[in-house]
Structure 1
Amino acid sequence: MLAAEACIAYGERGMTLADALEEIYETYGYFSESVKSYTLEGKEGMEQIAGCMQKLRMAPPEAFAAILVDEYEDYLSGERTHRGGEKSALALPKNDTLRWLLADESWIVIRPSGTEPKLKLYIGARAKTKAELDATLRQLMQDVDARLKGYLA
């Protein structure tokens, strides 16, 4: 019903739903997310994942793909670290998740699966154009992927 109403409303303005979506993108920017899983084998895989998470906690990156980190969140410690080093508490349940908020409004989340030897990577980005968005996501994925493969080796 809502889609039909939107078709009518935008049609009266001489627009298709695709035109309306493009108008929204031009007003607010383009947003997209990407997910990647790293599956390892058995107990050794679980240990590799735990080691990777520990390495990330001990030396959290200050930039990804040359984009500075504004905030780093460790949900296990319940702590947020701001770029200048100031710390604040997270009001969220504790779990084995790390999150980076970047200066360009992109974000990265890394967490192990709770049930299998798998590490999950989530990346989100925002940009003014679709081309910029695609380039940002690609560069972030390449950077984080290389780091994680190095830590999991």
Structure 2
Amino acid sequence: MVKTIVTSELGAAIAESFGVTTINTLTGFKFIAEKMAEFEETGKHTFLFGYEESYGYLAGDFVRDKDAVQIALLTAEMAAFYKNEGKSLLEMLDLLYTQYGQYKEKLISLKFDGMEGQQKISQIMSSLREAAPKEIAGLSVARVEDYQSGIATSANGKEVAIELPRSNVLKFILEDGSWICARPSGTEPKCKFYIGLINQEDAIFDEVEKMIMEIAE
């Protein structure tokens, strides 16, 4: 399975339980399509499913972009299957949460117009890079992934290379597997913050948002 680095980890947890490898890419479905082509060339993997945070899904390798038509059909088939079993999709989602944990995500976009806005976005990213938080919302930062330098640094100082193209992205992995990712938008004058929580109360979203607003001041 292939997904982007700002996409929920629930799918990866489910895939792992079935012995399926999950490969991460940078943001954008084009990077998922690149992996599909790579698999065809190398034969090292078989593409099963690709998805990204911004509502893009693909369940076959005969298309090179997100495909709402095939996913709509699969969703309808899934709903019909579970209806025959006397279950709803919501009930099945709750079952997944029970088995794998409750995964929740949120996107916060801060808009900064004009040249000053671009400078502000650069300032925010530089601030996070130069003074990376060691704790977020009461949770210790276990690892900082800097996709611009290509280095992931653990809390103990151990560094490992990130095997992805360079990009102005920072991702903070917390002690419980929750995460926060920051990146400038590639299409709008915005700095985007993606938050992924695992088995945490919604109030954590508010605490993270407060931290983000303080950094952006």
- With structure 2 as the length reference, what TM-score do the two structures score? 0.60
Match of 2:151 in 1: 79
**Pair 1:3-2:79 in alignment:** yes
Deviation at 1:90, TM superposition (A): 0.3
Map Cα deviations across residues 103-152 of structure 1 (whole Å, 9 max, x no partner). Answer: 1110100001123321001000111xxxxx3x2x432x334333333333
**Pair 1:52-2:124 in alignment:** yes
SS at match of 2:167: coil
Deviation at 1:16, TM superposition (A): 4.0
Structure 2 letter corresponding to 1:110: A
CA–CA separation in structure 1 for the residues paired with 2:215 and 2:195: 18
SS at match of 2:187: coil
Match of 2:138 in 1: 66
- Greater RCO (Cα-Cα under 8 Å, separation 6 or more): 1
- Structure 1 contact 75–98 (Cα < 8 Å) conserved: yes
1:28-43 correspondence to structure 2 within 5 Å? 28-43=100-115
Deviation at 1:64, TM superposition (A): 0.2
Match of 2:203 in 1: 138
Deviation at 1:53, TM superposition (A): 0.6
CA–CA separation in structure 1 for the residues paired with 2:105 and 2:177: 12
Structure 1 pair 17/37, CA: closer, same or farther in 2 (3 Å)? closer
Match of 1:104 in 2: 176
Question: Sequence identity of aligned pairs in percent?
Answer: 35
**Pair 1:116-2:192 in alignment:** no
Match of 1:148 in 2: 212
Gaps of at least 5 residues in structure 2 are: 1-76
- Structure 1 contact 39–119 (Cα < 8 Å) conserved: yes
Structure 1 pair 117/21, CA: closer, same or farther in 2 (3 Å)? closer
CA–CA separation in structure 1 for the residues paired with 2:92 and 2:164: 37
- Structure 1 contact 51–151 (Cα < 8 Å) conserved: no
Structure 1 pair 28/50, CA: closer, same or farther in 2 (3 Å)? same
- With structure 1 as the length reference, what TM-score do the two structures score? 0.83
SS at match of 2:145: strand
